[in-house]
Amino acid sequence: MAVQQNILLEAGTNEIEVLEFFLGGQSYGVNVLKIRQFIKYDVSMVAPVPNCFRSVLGNFLFQGTPTSLVDLNIHINVDQSEDPNLRRIILVCEFNNEITGFLTDGVNKIHRVSWGSIQSPPGLTGNASRNHITGIVIMNEKQIPMLDFEYITETISGKTSDEIERPVTSEEDAKKARRKEVKLLIADDSRMIRESLKEHLFKANYVSMAQFDNGLDIYNAVVQMKQKAMIEGRPITDYLVIIITDIEMPGMDGLTLCKRVKAELPEVRVLILSSLISEQMAEKCRQVSADEFISKKEINKLVDKVDQLCL
């Protein structure tokens, strides 16, 4: 069954559509924008692949193309339900321009909620848990953890972004001196992505930055900077030049963050970095006046994009 995504959901409303699915009797959630199709699971449809990651059952054919199938119960160490009537469902997902199947114990329904109802995971859950969970939907006294499919696929593939060697030129040296003065804020709910962004930027000498794991905290930080600039009679760019933000974040999504910042501080640059960049999402980025948007698969372009916006 194909998923009818509501592409008309207005950008910057701070809303998300969450699919609730089951693993071992527990509810979990994922952004509907990541899902292409639901498929009823049949063990005969999967061709085993030798020497693959422990949670990868093998490949199944999706639209004629061999596609990896990840058993989420195995990957996050959840005991599978013993219900004999269980109808396991494959979520065929697409993000970062790649398609992967995720095997679940079934699906419930789609909820439209505010990002404000999604909280960051508590700090006492342990690092492993926090890596798999990006936020928790609080709805009618029910908790639905949002599973980080991107982190799961990165763990399985073991891929890291290729190193880019900056040119050894006088022009690059001049850029490095100017980069040091640029004030940046970074927002992403994935610790792995935040560390990757920091590494890329630090190597290029973008060293004046602060990091946040949700959109609401970074927005509040921007408001404080704006107030400080007004009190001290200085331009906001003395405190903040550019925000680099994900779209999917607890508290406030990146589109809403961008919309509010550009309305209040149009001189602050906003670069949206997301696994969901597509033609439709690019149009939403334009609607909220983002200065630039790139896929997380293009992280190696990040420094050049920031250079273009800030130097």
For residue 288, what is the domain's CATH number? 3.40.50.2300
Mean pLDDT throughout 102-125?
88
Indicate whether 83 and 184 sit together in one domain. Answer: no
Q: 197 and 188 in contact (C-beta within 8 Å)? A: yes
Find where tokens 């114990």 sit.
105
How large a percentage of the chain has pLDDT more than 90?
74
pLDDT tens-digit map of 281-293: 999 999 999 999 9
Query: Is the domain of 111 the same as that of 37?
Result: yes
The rounded distance, in Å, linking the Cα atoms of 70 and 32 is: 18
Together in a domain, 51 and 134: yes
Contacts of 128 (CB under 8 A, 6+ apart): none
Inform me whether the pLDDT recorded for 17 exceeds 90: yes
CA-to-CA separations, 242 to 153, 209, 236, 290, 300, in angstroms, rounded: 29, 10, 11, 11, 18
Q: Are residues 146 and 279 in the same domain?
A: no
The reply to whether 39 and 97 lie within a common domain is yes
pLDDT in tens, 126-149: 444 456 899 999 988 899 999 999
Range of the domain at 142: 15-157
- Measured in degrees and rounded to the nearest 5, phi and psi for residue 195 equal -65, -40
83 pLDDT higher than 80:
no
pLDDT band at 123 (very low <50, low <70, confident <90, very high): low
Say yes or no: 241 and 293 in one domain.
yes
Q: Average pLDDT over the chain, rounded to whole?
A: 90
